[in-house]
Structure 1
Amino acid sequence: MTTSLLPAAAAALSLALASAACGSSGESGPARNDGRGPITVATGKDLTRTVQRLVAAWNVDHPKERVRLVELPEDGDQARQQLVQNMRIRSDAYDVVRLDAVWTAEFAARRWILPLPDGLVDTSSFVPAALETGRYRGRLYAAPWLTGTGVLYYRGDLLAGAGVKDPPETWAELRDACAKVRRTPEGKGVDCYAGQYGKYEGLTVNYSEAVQSAGGEVFDSSGRPRVDTPQAKAGLRFLVDGFRNGTIPRKAITFKEEEGRRAFQEGRLVFHRNWAYVYALAAEKSGSKVAGRFGVAPIPGEGGPGSGTLGGNNLAVSAFSGHQATARDFVAHIVSPAVQKEYGRAQSFPLSLAALYGDPGMIKRYPYLPVLRQGMDRARPRPVVVRYNEVSTAVQEQVTAAVTGRKPADQASEDLQKALAALAD
């Protein structure tokens, strides 16, 4: 779920590292083919069972080219590892693969996925930033399907009861609002704020958002790491201080998306940073204690609205599929306007088509869409690099050391700067 927006910084680093990787990998995939027949789609966990319904409809219309879904592990790192192992042995077990937005460069550079033919999808219909996450060296390798950025869920009832009129735009306002809520009878025992802080990809996302929301950047426009600047250090200190002063509960040190979502739905958090998929689940009256009591806002920052990280999932065709023509047709079908709108009506994962964010029917169903689009306009990508997994691992190692108190925040920033510089060389 986790799961990027794409300005020059990511592009520059992608080119720098991709060229080195392509020259040294020694891997190549088979050529494109026009084979047709049954295909297997490796995707994420289908929490709302919506994808299964879309696949069932496809299978009725394509009895000789039926689709079988295989769900990858919920943990993004484990899902990537399963796909990588499959590709390394050139297995034809998967025909279509659902990739996190930051995996495109790696899979394309290693020739594990193939470029999509021009005209297969209407590129002008997508949110521009989402479309860029599917490109590698100017070619579209993966069709954008799900996109979005982190948003702030807040307990509107608790804020109103504490006399707080609006959700916070700054970290100071967030802390002040929590203090006021805790002084009310309804707010006693409710924790302030949590995001995703377990030692996995979500921590990289939350760290990147903190840095950006303090006016810093993880990499600059030339692809050089910048995590030792005053602004970047301020972002890390927001997380470190949050754990120290109780803004973030200690138990959140292991939170991934679902642990935080459950805490918010069970009424144990005033504020929660997560993806848009949480909206529909938190709004279910039968399974949520906060249904009808929460709202959604852009994430806060040090001096004003923060900058989120663009997340998302793209669909690509495996270079080792024997039925690539069917795989390409299925990708085009799933990201088409009619199917995306049908998918959007059934669940709250934000989709890649720009028109859906201004659709009155969609906004009525999911009032957070305008807020999400605002956040996407301010969001930035995680580095889109071939060696992204190593970059993310370095971030996780140093940020975990800082938030657990094993290393001073400034020292962790300086050590991370050295690690990222070595990866960029």
Structure 2
Amino acid sequence: MKKSKMLLAAMVGTLLTGSQAYAEKTQLSALFMAQAAYSEQDIENMTEAFEKANPNVDVKMEFVAYEALHDKIVLSHNASDGYDVVLFDVIWPAEFARYGLLTDVSDKIDNSTKADILEGAWTTVEYGGKYYGMPWIVDTKYLFYNKKMLSEAGISKAPVTWAELASQAKIIKDKGIVEYPLVWSWSQSEAVICDYATLLSAMGGEFLDGNEKPVFQQGGGLHALEYMVDSIKMGLTNPNSREYSEEDVRRTFSSGQAAFAVNWTYMYNLANDPKESSIAGHVGIAPAPGAANISKASAVNGSMGLGVTSNSKNKDIAWDYIKHLTSQPVQEGFAKLSLPVWKSSYDNPEIAKGQEELLKAAKVGLAAMYPRPTKASYQEMSSILQVAIQEALLGTKAPTEALNEAADAVSDLD
């Protein structure tokens, strides 16, 4: 508690010297995600520091599940009580730019700021050469593993290829250490697309070709889905993965019901917390594996940004709030569930302390982040692909059939 108060005081001091309190009482409305990355408490603490520095600003925060975030932003656009600040996914700027949902803030971002932030993070807020916000969450999926289970199976190190992962999982299963060694977030949602994209990228696949035509139904895209299906058929993947979100994965892995899990950054410290996990102290993390003769590692770009809505009546104050949340001191003060977007933060020993393995994996994973398609109709494309993947995972269609039908449907989108 004492450390939190000191951190809060430091952030308030930074803000007070960098900006003046607003003269008139202003209420901001901000929309955030209630899963993965920063916790609600983290964001509330960050916001409290901003409000203390600006006593005439009151920030009303709303937290929703990721699956509700996109539609909340869209539906609130013309509402009288719409949001001023919204958290948005890397896959949405094209659509939001087309419909004018976010404010172009390109003129507010100087060259120094551009140079100081991780290059991959900027893809989160950029579309058509313009910036629609500030990067806030830089994230990708990692391979988590139970060190104790691997040791009991006689396995000395984490797998570096997906084929090796399947082999290790089979050894663990055959030795009776755990019934289902693998757990994933494969519910019919964007979660399954992120896991699929990770595998697709490792296996040399692409979602679309240079002419924006689907090619995920062949090559690495097909191999990725076949790998997913085979892991269920072999009894290596927990079949409940087909209904799981990231939080389900965290709970399953943290309760000792899996040897391996694929999940976002936030799970590392929670799975190592004795209050949250029965396997604390036995959690390993590595970059998601690669594929022999194709890739060394794999990763999906799961980053998110903060933007000012185009209909906000308090755009300047909203931008100041975003600058506060995304500032280096604030991000470094809350770096246990989400790593900073600032390059120099990764050389800060305070950030690395207690999570050296995470930062080592992050240096590889963040450099390998594979993007999902940047197109205004991405939501429709994703929904089509989600259904196809689910059909294959449930065994109602073969991977080839499911992906071919999805490719035909995606071809009809604009």
- TM-score normalised over the length of structure 2: 0.88
In structure 1, the residue corresponding to 2:86 is in which secondary structure? strand
How far apart, CA to CA, are the structure 2 residues paired with 1:109 and 1:354?
A: 31
In structure 1, the residue corresponding to 2:62 is in which secondary structure? strand
In structure 2, the residue corresponding to 1:49 is in which secondary structure? helix
Matched, 1:312 2:303: yes
Amino acid aligned to 1:397? V
Please list the CA deviations of residues 260-314 of structure 1 after superposition, one character each: whole Å capped at 9, or x if unmatched.
Answer: 1100000000000000000111111122111000100111233254422110220
| Alignment match of 1:64 (pick from 56, 62, 76) | 56
Please list the CA deviations of residues 212-240 of structure 1 after superposition, one character each: whole Å capped at 9, or x if unmatched.
Answer: 22111112344222112232211110011
How far apart, CA to CA, are the structure 2 residues paired with 1:101 and 1:302?
A: 25
Specify every segment of 5 or more residues in structure 1 that has no aligned partner in the other structure, as ranges.
1-34
Q: CA deviation at 1:55?
A: 0.7
| Alignment match of 1:284 (pick from 247, 258, 273) | 273
| Alignment match of 1:123 (pick from 106, 109, 114) | 114
| Alignment match of 1:142 (pick from 114, 133, 141) | 133
Which residue of 1 is the match for residue 363 of structure 2? Answer: 373
Larger CA deviation: 51-60 vs 349-358 = 349-358
Matched, 1:300 2:292: no
In structure 2, the residue corresponding to 1:269 is in which secondary structure? coil
How far apart, CA to CA, are the structure 2 residues paired with 1:403 and 1:166?
A: 29
The 8 Å contact of residues 170 and 236 in structure 2, kept in 1 or not, is answered as no
How far apart, CA to CA, are the structure 1 residues paired with 2:142 and 2:313?
A: 40
Q: CA deviation at 1:120?
A: 4.1
User: Bigger relative contact order, structure 1 or 2, given CA contacts below 8 A and separation 6+?
Assistant: 1
| Alignment match of 2:216 (pick from 210, 227, 245) | 227
Amino acid aligned to 2:62? V
The 8 Å contact of residues 168 and 174 in structure 1, kept in 2 or not, is answered as yes
Query: Structure 2 vs 1, CA of residues 190 and 351 (structure 1 numbering), >3 Å: closer, same or farther?
Result: farther
How far apart, CA to CA, are the structure 1 residues paired with 2:406 and 2:340?
A: 33
Which residue of 2 is the match for residue 94 of structure 1? Answer: 83
| Alignment match of 1:164 (pick from 155, 170, 178) | 155
Which residue of 2 is the match for residue 215 of structure 1? Answer: 204
The 8 Å contact of residues 117 and 341 in structure 2, kept in 1 or not, is answered as yes
Q: CA deviation at 1:183?
A: 4.5
Query: Structure 2 vs 1, CA of residues 210 and 167 (structure 1 numbering), >3 Å: closer, same or farther?
Result: same
Q: CA deviation at 1:117?
A: 4.5
The 8 Å contact of residues 363 and 370 in structure 1, kept in 2 or not, is answered as no
The 8 Å contact of residues 39 and 95 in structure 1, kept in 2 or not, is answered as yes
Specify every segment of 5 or more residues in structure 2 that has no aligned partner in the other structure, as ranges.
1-23
Q: CA deviation at 1:130?
A: 1.0
The 8 Å contact of residues 287 and 365 in structure 2, kept in 1 or not, is answered as yes
How far apart, CA to CA, are the structure 1 residues paired with 2:253 and 2:187?
A: 17
Which residue of 1 is the match for residue 384 of structure 2? Answer: 394
- TM-score normalised over the length of structure 1: 0.86
Which residue of 2 is the match for residue 360 of structure 1? Answer: 349
The 8 Å contact of residues 136 and 306 in structure 2, kept in 1 or not, is answered as yes
In structure 1, the residue corresponding to 2:227 is in which secondary structure? helix
Amino acid aligned to 2:304? N
Query: Structure 2 vs 1, CA of residues 229 and 339 (structure 1 numbering), >3 Å: closer, same or farther?
Result: same
Which residue of 1 is the match for residue 229 of structure 2? Answer: 240
Which residue of 1 is the match for residue 18 of structure 2? Answer: none
| Alignment match of 1:204 (pick from 185, 188, 193) | 193
In structure 2, the residue corresponding to 1:40 is in which secondary structure? strand
The 8 Å contact of residues 308 and 319 in structure 2, kept in 1 or not, is answered as yes
The 8 Å contact of residues 190 and 267 in structure 1, kept in 2 or not, is answered as no
Which residue of 1 is the match for residue 44 of structure 2? Answer: 52
Q: CA deviation at 1:373?
A: 2.3
Which residue of 1 is the match for residue 7 of structure 2? Answer: none
In structure 2, the residue corresponding to 1:307 is in which secondary structure? strand
> How much is the aligned-residue C-alpha RMSD, in angstroms?
1.8
The 8 Å contact of residues 36 and 323 in structure 1, kept in 2 or not, is answered as no
Amino acid aligned to 2:143? L
How far apart, CA to CA, are the structure 2 residues paired with 1:36 and 1:319?
A: 21
> Where do 1:36-51 residues align within 5 Å?
37-45=26-34, 47=39, 49-51=41-43
How far apart, CA to CA, are the structure 1 residues paired with 2:166 and 2:100?
A: 48
Which residue of 2 is the match for residue 268 of structure 1? Answer: 257
Which residue of 2 is the match for residue 82 of structure 1? Answer: 72
| Alignment match of 2:182 (pick from 179, 186, 193) | 193
The 8 Å contact of residues 149 and 310 in structure 1, kept in 2 or not, is answered as yes
How far apart, CA to CA, are the structure 2 residues paired with 1:189 and 1:280?
A: 23
Q: CA deviation at 1:399?
A: 0.8
Please list the CA deviations of residues 322-358 of structure 1 after superposition, one character each: whole Å capped at 9, or x if unmatched.
Answer: 11110011111111111111121xx321232222223
Q: CA deviation at 1:199?
A: 0.4
Amino acid aligned to 2:47? V
In structure 1, the residue corresponding to 2:280 is in which secondary structure? coil
Matched, 1:251 2:240: yes
Number of aligned residue pairs: give it: 383
Q: CA deviation at 1:36?
A: 8.1
Please list the CA deviations of residues 25-73 of structure 1 after superposition, one character each: whole Å capped at 9, or x if unmatched.
Answer: xxxxxxxxxx98221111112635111111111111101122221112x
Which residue of 1 is the match for residue 324 of structure 2? Answer: 333
